[in-house]
Structure 1
Amino acid sequence: MTDMTTDNEQARARTAQRIAAVRARFLAGLGDRLAQLAEAAHAASGPDAAAAAAAGDSLRLGLHNLAGASPTLGLLELGRRAAQLEKRVIASRVAGGGLPSDASGELVRDILALVESRD
Protein backbone atom coordinates (compact mmCIF):
# COMPACT_ATOMS: atom_id res chain seq x y z
CA MET A 1 0.00 0.00 0.00
CA THR A 2 1.38 3.39 -0.94
CA ASP A 3 1.58 6.36 1.38
CA MET A 4 -0.98 8.18 -0.79
CA THR A 5 -3.46 5.31 -0.49
CA THR A 6 -2.99 5.24 3.27
CA ASP A 7 -3.43 9.03 3.46
CA ASN A 8 -6.63 8.82 1.39
CA GLU A 9 -8.01 6.03 3.55
CA GLN A 10 -7.20 7.95 6.70
CA ALA A 11 -8.84 11.09 5.31
CA ARG A 12 -11.96 9.08 4.42
CA ALA A 13 -12.05 7.56 7.89
CA ARG A 14 -11.75 11.00 9.53
CA THR A 15 -14.52 12.35 7.31
CA ALA A 16 -16.76 9.39 8.15
CA GLN A 17 -16.13 9.95 11.86
CA ARG A 18 -17.02 13.64 11.56
CA ILE A 19 -20.21 12.85 9.66
CA ALA A 20 -21.15 10.23 12.25
CA ALA A 21 -20.65 12.79 15.03
CA VAL A 22 -22.81 15.37 13.23
CA ARG A 23 -25.50 12.74 12.61
CA ALA A 24 -25.45 11.73 16.29
CA ARG A 25 -25.88 15.37 17.38
CA PHE A 26 -28.66 15.84 14.82
CA LEU A 27 -30.51 12.77 16.10
CA ALA A 28 -29.98 13.77 19.73
CA GLY A 29 -31.75 17.06 19.06
CA LEU A 30 -34.43 15.68 16.76
CA GLY A 31 -37.07 15.21 19.46
CA ASP A 32 -36.79 18.83 20.59
CA ARG A 33 -36.77 20.04 17.00
CA LEU A 34 -39.93 18.08 16.20
CA ALA A 35 -41.62 19.36 19.36
CA GLN A 36 -40.86 22.94 18.27
CA LEU A 37 -42.28 22.24 14.81
CA ALA A 38 -45.41 20.70 16.36
CA GLU A 39 -45.82 23.81 18.55
CA ALA A 40 -45.49 26.00 15.45
CA ALA A 41 -48.13 23.90 13.65
CA HIS A 42 -50.49 24.35 16.58
CA ALA A 43 -49.80 28.10 16.82
CA ALA A 44 -50.37 28.50 13.07
CA SER A 45 -54.09 27.98 13.65
CA GLY A 46 -54.35 30.45 16.51
CA PRO A 47 -56.76 33.41 16.66
CA ASP A 48 -54.09 36.11 16.21
CA ALA A 49 -53.63 36.30 12.43
CA ALA A 50 -50.15 37.85 12.60
CA ALA A 51 -48.91 35.29 15.13
CA ALA A 52 -50.50 32.45 13.12
CA ALA A 53 -48.79 33.68 9.94
CA ALA A 54 -45.42 33.92 11.72
CA ALA A 55 -45.88 30.40 13.11
CA GLY A 56 -46.80 29.15 9.63
CA ASP A 57 -43.63 30.73 8.22
CA SER A 58 -41.54 29.18 10.99
CA LEU A 59 -43.15 25.79 10.43
CA ARG A 60 -42.58 25.83 6.68
CA LEU A 61 -38.95 26.91 7.06
CA GLY A 62 -38.29 24.36 9.80
CA LEU A 63 -39.70 21.52 7.70
CA HIS A 64 -37.76 22.76 4.67
CA ASN A 65 -34.51 22.73 6.66
CA LEU A 66 -35.27 19.28 8.07
CA ALA A 67 -36.07 17.97 4.57
CA GLY A 68 -32.76 19.31 3.28
CA ALA A 69 -30.46 18.32 6.14
CA SER A 70 -31.78 14.81 6.76
CA PRO A 71 -30.69 13.15 3.48
CA THR A 72 -27.25 14.73 3.81
CA LEU A 73 -26.86 12.74 7.03
CA GLY A 74 -28.22 9.53 5.53
CA LEU A 75 -31.75 9.96 6.91
CA LEU A 76 -33.53 9.61 3.59
CA GLU A 77 -36.99 8.67 4.85
CA LEU A 78 -37.01 11.50 7.38
CA GLY A 79 -36.08 13.95 4.63
CA ARG A 80 -38.75 12.59 2.30
CA ARG A 81 -41.48 12.79 4.92
CA ALA A 82 -40.45 16.29 6.05
CA ALA A 83 -40.60 17.46 2.40
CA GLN A 84 -44.11 16.03 2.09
CA LEU A 85 -45.18 17.87 5.23
CA GLU A 86 -43.67 21.11 3.94
CA LYS A 87 -45.76 20.74 0.77
CA ARG A 88 -48.87 20.18 2.89
CA VAL A 89 -48.15 23.33 4.89
CA ILE A 90 -47.78 25.35 1.70
CA ALA A 91 -51.00 23.91 0.24
CA SER A 92 -53.01 24.35 3.46
CA ARG A 93 -52.16 27.94 4.34
CA VAL A 94 -55.04 30.40 4.34
CA ALA A 95 -54.93 33.94 2.94
CA GLY A 96 -53.52 35.44 6.15
CA GLY A 97 -50.70 32.88 6.27
CA GLY A 98 -51.96 30.68 9.08
CA LEU A 99 -53.44 27.20 8.93
CA PRO A 100 -57.00 25.91 9.35
CA SER A 101 -57.37 24.10 12.68
CA ASP A 102 -58.03 20.69 11.08
CA ALA A 103 -54.85 20.92 8.99
CA SER A 104 -52.93 22.12 12.03
CA GLY A 105 -54.03 19.14 14.12
CA GLU A 106 -53.10 16.66 11.40
CA LEU A 107 -49.71 18.31 10.96
CA VAL A 108 -48.99 18.17 14.69
CA ARG A 109 -49.70 14.43 14.68
CA ASP A 110 -47.63 13.78 11.55
CA ILE A 111 -44.70 15.93 12.70
CA LEU A 112 -44.49 14.04 15.99
CA ALA A 113 -44.59 10.76 14.03
CA LEU A 114 -41.42 11.79 12.18
CA VAL A 115 -39.38 10.56 15.13
CA GLU A 116 -40.04 7.07 13.73
CA SER A 117 -38.17 8.00 10.53
CA ARG A 118 -34.70 7.71 11.99
CA ASP A 119 -33.67 5.31 9.19
Structure 2
Amino acid sequence: MAGQCIILMGVSGTGKTTVGQALAQALGAKFIDGDDLHPRKNIVKMAASQPLDDDDRQPWLERIGDVIFSLGQKNESGVLVCSALKKRYRNQLREGNPHCASCG
Protein backbone atom coordinates (compact mmCIF):
# COMPACT_ATOMS: atom_id res chain seq x y z
CA MET A 1 0.00 0.00 0.00
CA ALA A 2 3.05 2.28 -0.04
CA GLY A 3 2.26 5.68 -1.50
CA GLN A 4 -1.48 5.08 -1.42
CA CYS A 5 -4.11 7.17 0.33
CA ILE A 6 -7.56 5.96 1.26
CA ILE A 7 -10.12 8.70 1.92
CA LEU A 8 -13.16 7.93 4.07
CA MET A 9 -15.96 10.44 3.56
CA GLY A 10 -19.33 10.96 5.16
CA VAL A 11 -21.47 13.21 7.29
CA SER A 12 -20.59 14.13 10.84
CA GLY A 13 -21.10 11.42 13.44
CA THR A 14 -20.96 8.40 11.12
CA GLY A 15 -17.79 6.90 12.60
CA LYS A 16 -15.26 8.05 10.01
CA THR A 17 -12.63 8.78 12.64
CA THR A 18 -13.11 5.49 14.49
CA VAL A 19 -13.02 3.42 11.31
CA GLY A 20 -10.21 5.49 9.82
CA GLN A 21 -7.98 5.13 12.88
CA ALA A 22 -8.55 1.36 12.98
CA LEU A 23 -7.88 1.04 9.25
CA ALA A 24 -4.71 3.13 9.46
CA GLN A 25 -3.43 1.02 12.34
CA ALA A 26 -4.24 -2.23 10.53
CA LEU A 27 -2.46 -1.04 7.37
CA GLY A 28 0.46 0.61 9.12
CA ALA A 29 -0.53 3.92 7.52
CA LYS A 30 -0.69 7.50 8.76
CA PHE A 31 -4.08 8.68 10.03
CA ILE A 32 -5.09 12.18 8.96
CA ASP A 33 -8.25 13.92 10.15
CA GLY A 34 -9.40 16.46 7.59
CA ASP A 35 -10.90 18.57 10.37
CA ASP A 36 -7.35 19.31 11.53
CA LEU A 37 -6.60 20.91 8.15
CA HIS A 38 -9.18 23.71 8.30
CA PRO A 39 -7.70 27.19 8.08
CA ARG A 40 -8.08 29.49 11.09
CA LYS A 41 -10.91 31.46 9.41
CA ASN A 42 -13.01 28.30 9.12
CA ILE A 43 -12.32 27.25 12.70
CA VAL A 44 -13.43 30.66 13.99
CA LYS A 45 -16.55 30.56 11.82
CA MET A 46 -17.49 27.03 12.95
CA ALA A 47 -16.86 27.95 16.61
CA ALA A 48 -19.43 30.73 16.16
CA SER A 49 -21.91 28.10 14.86
CA GLN A 50 -21.82 29.59 11.38
CA PRO A 51 -21.98 27.10 8.51
CA LEU A 52 -19.17 27.01 5.97
CA ASP A 53 -19.97 27.82 2.36
CA ASP A 54 -18.22 26.65 -0.80
CA ASP A 55 -15.81 29.59 -0.71
CA ASP A 56 -14.84 28.72 2.88
CA ARG A 57 -14.23 25.10 1.96
CA GLN A 58 -11.97 25.81 -1.01
CA PRO A 59 -8.72 26.46 0.93
CA TRP A 60 -9.51 23.46 3.14
CA LEU A 61 -9.95 21.19 0.13
CA GLU A 62 -6.70 22.51 -1.32
CA ARG A 63 -4.89 21.65 1.93
CA ILE A 64 -6.33 18.15 1.91
CA GLY A 65 -5.32 17.72 -1.74
CA ASP A 66 -1.80 18.88 -0.88
CA VAL A 67 -1.55 16.38 1.98
CA ILE A 68 -2.66 13.55 -0.32
CA PHE A 69 -0.14 14.67 -2.95
CA SER A 70 2.63 14.85 -0.35
CA LEU A 71 1.95 11.30 0.82
CA GLY A 72 2.33 10.06 -2.74
CA GLN A 73 5.52 12.04 -3.29
CA LYS A 74 7.06 10.54 -0.15
CA ASN A 75 5.74 7.07 -1.01
CA GLU A 76 3.89 7.04 2.31
CA SER A 77 0.51 5.48 2.97
CA GLY A 78 -2.36 7.29 4.62
CA VAL A 79 -5.97 7.07 5.66
CA LEU A 80 -7.67 10.45 5.56
CA VAL A 81 -11.14 11.19 6.88
CA CYS A 82 -13.22 14.21 5.90
CA SER A 83 -16.75 15.22 5.04
CA ALA A 84 -16.28 16.17 1.33
CA LEU A 85 -20.03 15.74 0.89
CA LYS A 86 -20.39 17.22 -2.59
CA LYS A 87 -19.31 15.30 -5.66
CA ARG A 88 -17.24 18.26 -6.87
CA TYR A 89 -15.33 18.24 -3.55
CA ARG A 90 -14.51 14.56 -4.00
CA ASN A 91 -13.50 15.13 -7.62
CA GLN A 92 -11.22 17.98 -6.55
CA LEU A 93 -9.47 15.73 -4.01
CA ARG A 94 -8.90 13.03 -6.65
CA GLU A 95 -7.59 15.56 -9.19
CA GLY A 96 -3.84 15.20 -9.54
CA ASN A 97 -3.80 12.41 -6.97
CA PRO A 98 -4.00 9.12 -8.91
CA HIS A 99 -2.75 7.16 -5.88
CA CYS A 100 -5.88 7.99 -3.90
CA ALA A 101 -8.94 5.80 -3.36
CA SER A 102 -12.12 7.21 -1.88
CA CYS A 103 -14.83 5.48 0.09
CA GLY A 104 -18.01 7.20 1.10
TM-score by length of 2: 0.37
Pick the structure with more helix per residue: 1
Q: Identify which of structures 1 and 2 has the higher relative contact order when contacts are C-alpha pairs closer than 8 Å and 6+ apart.
A: 2
Question: Which has the higher Rg, Structure 1 or Structure 2?
Answer: 1
